[in-house]
Structure 1
Amino acid sequence: MTRSHDPAALPCPMWRRLAALVYDLLAVVAIVMVVGLLCQLATGGQVVAAGTHPAIAWWYQPLQGLVVGAYFVISWLRGGQTLGMRPWRIRVVGANGGKVLWGQALRRVIVAALPLLLLGLAPWLGLRGAVWVVLAGWAVWFAPALIDRRRRALHDIAAGTEMRRT
């Protein structure tokens, strides 16, 4: 019996993408904790200045963003899968089905992270309100995948990538 469709050519359903994101969230939390520990050790515990108005060092959050972004970019370039994508058997590929290129991976991670800029609304909305706005932003980012024939989210469309089953 032959299969009429190659599973690797099938677009990834949204539920698998979201399940993989939950797994990747665990990896990201671990990465952030390790970077935080290393920064605390390197600065003698001065990453967060104590006082009446605690302040985080200006370089700390951009460093965390770069390290987390590097996790995704390197994972996509080294086989198209993050740790969260492996158990759900999905892979990021170029639009032609080939490997993801540097520019595509970089564009994909930047566009996917853009809703995080909405955290800047926290002074007006409070942290909880800003987090909800970020989640709404990501819902908008993923909405095209619900209607697109190839199940591409906004960051896939911008980068020329797509998610496929492996």
Structure 2
Amino acid sequence: MKNTKTAPTANPYVGLPPAGVLRRFGALIYDALLVMALMLLAGGVGALVAALLLNFNLISIAGYPDMAAYLSQNMLYQIWIWSVFVGFYAFFWSKAGQTLGMRAWKLRVQNEDGTNINKTQAVIRLFTAIFGLGNFFVLINKPKGRSFQDHWADCEVVLLSKELNQQVKLKGVKWP
């Protein structure tokens, strides 16, 4: 009987060039607009839930001038809003290696072996990003082109070719 094993295919994401600062900031701005829209939507949902709870006398806003003041001091509401922020990046980075902004700029965050980062790496990367200022570290870290957050999360951001960018999938579903 013949041995029908095939040689493992090389990961096409290994050895790609590191992403530059301008592309990183372009993706950051694009994603910031998306995340702000999602956070506004989440805020609206949270406010609607709070209004319903108030209507059924399940919460009280006594001591607050209005619902907005109540929500701005409510820890559960704050956790809800920030979980949308963290969840956006953790989900997209760990499932597809790129957010919508990164896709537009042909960038991908990955491990050095070309695999997607995990959720822990995504959270570390997000919390060490320092509002994008960590990307300037790319300018002095020329050989690998890694930013401050890439270093701490043990990952890299690479520049994809047009063909590779079109092949990136989110849980087996092709991007539009």
Q: Normalised by the size of structure 2, how large is the TM-score?
A: 0.68
In structure 2, the partner of 1:51 is 65
Q: Give 1:25 shift.
A: 0.8
Runs of 4+ in 1 over 4 A off after TM superposition: none
Structure 2 counterpart of 1:83 = 100
Q: Structure 2: 5+ residue runs without aligned partners?
A: 1-12, 161-176
- Superposition pairs for residues 97-112 of structure 1, below 5 Å? 97-112=114-129
Per-residue CA shift, 1:128-155, capped at 9, x if unaligned? xxxxxxx6xx43x223111112221111
Task: Choose 1 or 2 for highest CA Rg.
Answer: 2
**Contact 1:91–1:163 (CA under 8 A) maintained in structure 2:** yes
Q: Which residue, 142, 156, 162 being the options, matches 1:162? A: 156
Paired residues in the alignment total: 136
Shift of 1:7: 9.8
- CA deviation after TM superposition for structure 1 residue 97, in Å: 2.6
Unaligned 5+ segments in structure 1 are 1-5, 116-134
Letter in 1 for 2:145: R
Do the aligned residues in 2 keep the contact of 1:8 with 1:165 (CA within 8 Å)?
A: no
Q: Does 1:147 align with 2:140?
A: yes
Task: Kindly indicate whether residue 43 of structure 2 is the aligned counterpart of residue 36 of structure 1.
Answer: yes
**What corresponds to 2:81 in structure 1?**
64
Shift of 1:156: 0.6
Say if 1:144 and 1:152, in contact at 8 Å, map to a contact too: yes
CA distance in 1, matches of 2:116, 2:39: 28
User: What percent identity do the matched residue pairs reach?
Assistant: 27
Q: CA deviation at 1:72?
A: 0.3
CA contact (8 A) 2:14 2:113 kept: no
- Residue deviations 1:11-67 (CA, integer Å, cap 9, x gap): 0010000000110011111111110110011010779x6429x35112222221111
What RMSD, in angstroms, separates the aligned Cα atoms of the two structures?
Answer: 2.6
TM-score (norm: length of structure 1):
0.72
